[in-house]
Each structure stands twice: as C-alpha cells, then as structure tokens.
Amino acid sequence: MQRKWLIAASMIFFITGLLVVLADWWSVTPNGSDIPKIAMDVLAGIGLAVIPLAAALCLFGRTRPMASKCLIACVLMFASIAISSPIGRRIRTDGFQKIADRGAPLVDGIKAFIQDKGEPPESLDDLVPDYLQSIPTTGMAAYPGYRYWQNERRNTWTVAVSVCSGLDWGSVVYWSSEDYPKSLRRYGNWAYIPD
C-alpha cells in the first residue's frame, strides 16, 4: 500500500508539472486555446481551498488517513506548479514576443500611412492594399487578431492583442508614443499591460 501511494504521489507531482507547461505551450500555438491555462488556474484554486480543510480533517482519527493523503497530494501539486511555472512563463513570453514580431509590419504600415496622409488610418482595413497586402494575424488561435484604435490625443494610436495568462487577463500592446511605464514587461517596442 505504501508503494502504491508513493507511485501515485510521484505521478501527481510529474503530471501536474507537465500539464502546467503544456497549458502554457498550447495557448501560444497556431491551433491552441487558453482554456487549459484557465483550467490549471481553477485546479490550483481548488487545491488551495482543499489544503486547510484537509489539514483540519487530519486532526480527527476517522478522517486522518484520507485527509493526510489529500493534503500531501495538494502540497505536491503546488510544489510541482511552483517548479514548472517558470518554464511555462518562458514559453508564454516567447509567444508574446511573436505577437510583437508579427505585428511589426502592421505598425510600419500605420506609420507609412501617417507619413503619406498626415493622420492615422480610421481602421486597419485602410492599410490594404497600399501599405499591407493583408492584415497580419498573431499566428495563435487563442489570440488571433490585432485590434486598433485611435486615442483621444491627436495622432496617437494603439495596436493590441488581448491575452490570457490563466485567470489573469491583459494585452500585448503597441502605443504609438512608445512611452511605457518602466514597470511593464517589454517585447521590443511593445509591452504587456495587465487588465
């Protein structure tokens, strides 16, 4: 019985870590989705809620065996998440850099439009076909398209992609001013802004 529990505990640890990395990878692939990333955050939240309950149930003789196993499983899950999250974060960082890289022709097209017309385009469609052959995509199914809008300040504009980092939503943005707060994570001339 002890050996079976050790195998089960090891599997919880390794599978959780693998799922964290795979969820991050899947969210920035061409056919991916952010649903696994959200599901991993929900699972972590449930595990977090179970830890104090399992710890309390360990105080009672009848529930101690099952509660202690549950507590150990949750602690192993969190240890695995803590170890694998930096790997997943690196994968998403690379994906967000690709959003910025693939959006560079869009930014260049808007700048060329302004150079020629003296003001920003009303929409991205105004760039086709004179400045771009087509509007680029991010190459990621979970976050497929670029949004564009003019800001209230004259001749300033924003290009953005809404992204999810589990239950934390934000945007990878390009501000025409390129004047980002130093606290933001940068991707070349772009930045990540949490919502």
Q: What is the pLDDT of residues 84-103, one digit of tens each?
A: 999 998 999 999 999 999 99
Residue pLDDT, tens place only, 59-83:
998 999 889 988 988 898 889 998 9
pTM: 0.84
Q: Are 81 and 44 in contact (CB under 8 A)?
A: yes
Question: Cβ-count burial of 4 within 10 angstroms (0-12 exposed, 13-18 middle, 19+ buried)?
Answer: exposed
Separation CA 47–CA 41 (nearest Å): 10
Question: Cβ-count burial of 121 within 10 angstroms (0-12 exposed, 13-18 middle, 19+ buried)?
Answer: middle
Residue pLDDT, tens place only, 20-73:
999 999 999 999 998 898 888 888 888 888 999 999 999 998 999 889 988 988
Question: In this structure, what token pair is assigned to residue 30?
Answer: 């061409």
Average pLDDT over residues 174-179: 93
